[in-house]
Structures are given as C-alpha cells and as structure tokens.
Amino acid sequence: MGCSYHIRKTNIDLEEEDEDSVETLTSYQCLVNKTNEDNLHSQQNLVNKTCDEGNKEEADYQKTIKRFEELVASLPKGKGWMTEHLVYYKGCWLTAYGALKGLMFIQDHFKAQPTDIFLATFPKCGTTWLKALIFATMNRSRYDFPSHPLLSASPHDCVPFLDAYIFQNNPVSSIHSLPSPRLFATHIPYDLLPNSMISSGSRFVYICRNPKDVLVSKWVFMNKARPKELPPLSLEDAFELFCKGVSHYGPFWDHVLGYWKASLESPEKILFLKYEEMMREPFVLLKRLTEFLGQPFSLEEESDGVVHEIIRLCSFENLSSLEVNKTKVKRFSNQLVIDNCDFFRKGRVGDWENHLTKEMIERLDQITEEKLEMVLD
C-alpha cells in the first residue's frame, strides 16, 4: 500500500517566498527603469546630435549667405537677358541671386561622389534633350517604356540642376542621401567648378552647339522668361551682348573651351559631344554615351530595339507632345518659374538662318573661328 505525502507550507515559508518575489520584482522593475532611462538618454542624445548638426548647418548656411551678400555688392554689372542685370565673377557673367548664389552654395556645401554624373552645358545647347537621354539610359532596367517617368514628368524634374536642387532642398545635407548614381545638370563653366567636383572621380557629359543657333534659341527663351516689367530684349541687343560675352554663364566660347580642354586632359572623366552630331547619328552617339557612363548596351538590348526605343522616347516630337510638357511648369525657385513648353521650341539645326542678318552671321563666324578653331577641326 503506497503512501502519499503532502507538505504543508508554513506561514514563515510563505512570507519568505513573498519577500523573495518582491525582491525579484523590484530588481526587474529597476532593470526595466534603467533600460528605459538608457533608451531615453540615447534618444535624447540622438536628438541633441541632430539638433547640433542642424544648428551647425544653419550657421554654415548663413555664413554663405553673408559671403554672397558681401561679394555681390562689389561685382561689376552688365545688362541682363532674363533679369535686369548680370554680375561678372571670375571671368564669367552670372545672374546674381540665381547662378552666383547657387555656385557659392555648391562651393561651400556640396560634396561630390565618385559615382556622380553631371550633364554640363551652356544654356540652350540641347540640355533638355540630353537630360532625357541620360535619365532613360541609366534607368532602362528600372522602368518600362509604357509607364516611363518621362511620360509624366519633365526631364528637368528627372535630372535636376544642382544649384536649384540645393535651393529647394534645405538642409543641404539631404542631397547626400540620394541613391547612387546621382544625376545632376549644371551650366557652371569648368573653371568655376569647385575642386571637390573635379577631383572626386565624377563623370561629366558636355554638349556644345553652333553658337548661331545658341544665340537665337537663347534670345527667344529669355524673352519668354523675362519679367513683364522689363521691356523685351531685341535680337540686335542680344546679338551685341552675346558677341561681347555678356550672357548667362558666358562668354559662350570660353565655356566651350573650358570643357573641351578638360576632356582632352581627362577623357575618362569628361565626354565632349556636339549637338549637330547627336542629331545626325543619335544611335551611334547614344551608344558612345552609354559606354562612357559604364552602362553599354548588350547585344540582346540592341536586338530587342532598346536603343531605338530610348531615342524615340526622348525625341523632340515625343517629349513636346506630352501633356506634362505642354501644360505644366517647372519651378526652379520662388523667383524663377518656367512653362515646360518653353523648353521645346523647334529642336532643329540651322534655324538661325531665319533670324540672323548676313552681317551678324559673318561676325559670329569670325569670332568662332578665332576662339574655337581647335574644337571645330
């Protein structure tokens, strides 16, 4: 016959257990409180660090503004095309509160990365077209053609101007979180680029154009963007200013020469293209562009018609017919808002023949031959 045992706990035993439970619970609660306190300290430290970084960036931002205000007051002025005046800075004519201010923010705050790609142009040399081509090429494995971003967004939204992007995305540090490779455009002459961009290993694609077409296209565009309170700029005045080098990011010839010489010295970093050649042989030049950017077309892509599809997508006829480029606007700053349709005029070579006099043509040809002889050969 088995025996069963039942051990009855005494009150003393129960009291000891209660004391142990209370002590354990107290220890656990202290641990939880310490953990929460440590977490709060970590979060507060992170907040303080973020605030400190934000305060420092804001202080640096204000230093650049002060430096700009002191500088701009001392610079020579010339007649503007889109604005009343241009300022002369280190051999180049710039809009004061757009181009010069943007340049100074780039000099002080922008940190280039080796994977960055910059499209560099003098205004009205095919910037919009090349933006579309580069964006479509670099993202061809990411987007399908039927739902491509270029069908609903301007090329200027897809590849922003660096100085305008910095203005619109304060703090400036936000630019560093963009996915690689970052695509930017700039009109800044090569000689004014900060050393951080030149020595970073970034690649530049530059496109130039016949100065006679540049003059006419720029004159038409700038008059559309010119404030209503300023009288229209005549072609005769625009011609004289252009010949003297007094135009946005001018002189034109110095701009071209700067990138041309740099492309000879560093062909692996700077690709120099000509608008007229791109128009004649887009297939050949687009393949050359992709090889330079390290994204050559595969034989399969070529046989599948990918190259031709990109050319069609980015063509003047297609882009200019899209609703976004007919009715929407591009806001570069609070002061500069451009109708997207103004970026699409004719997209042709040789329209200068319909606008320039014989004397104008001869004078421009003479200046071009003297200054760009090596580029034209």
**Active-site amino acid positions:** 187
* 71 phi, psi to nearest 5 deg: -70, -50
Contact 278, 251 (CB under 8 A): no
Cα(104)–Cα(120) distance, rounded to whole angstroms? 17
* 31 phi, psi to nearest 5 deg: -65, -45
Cα(331)–Cα(142) distance, rounded to whole angstroms? 26
Using DSSP's 3-state secondary structure scheme, residue 81 falls into coil
* 270 phi, psi to nearest 5 deg: -130, 120
C-alpha atoms less than 13 angstroms from C-alpha of 94 in its C-beta half-sphere: 25
Cα–Cα–Cα angle for 336, 338, 341, rounded to 5 degrees: 175
Dihedral angle of Cα 234, 210, 92, 268, to the nearest 10 degrees:
160
Contact 223, 290 (CB under 8 A): no
Which residues sit opposite 77 in a β-bridge?
A: 87
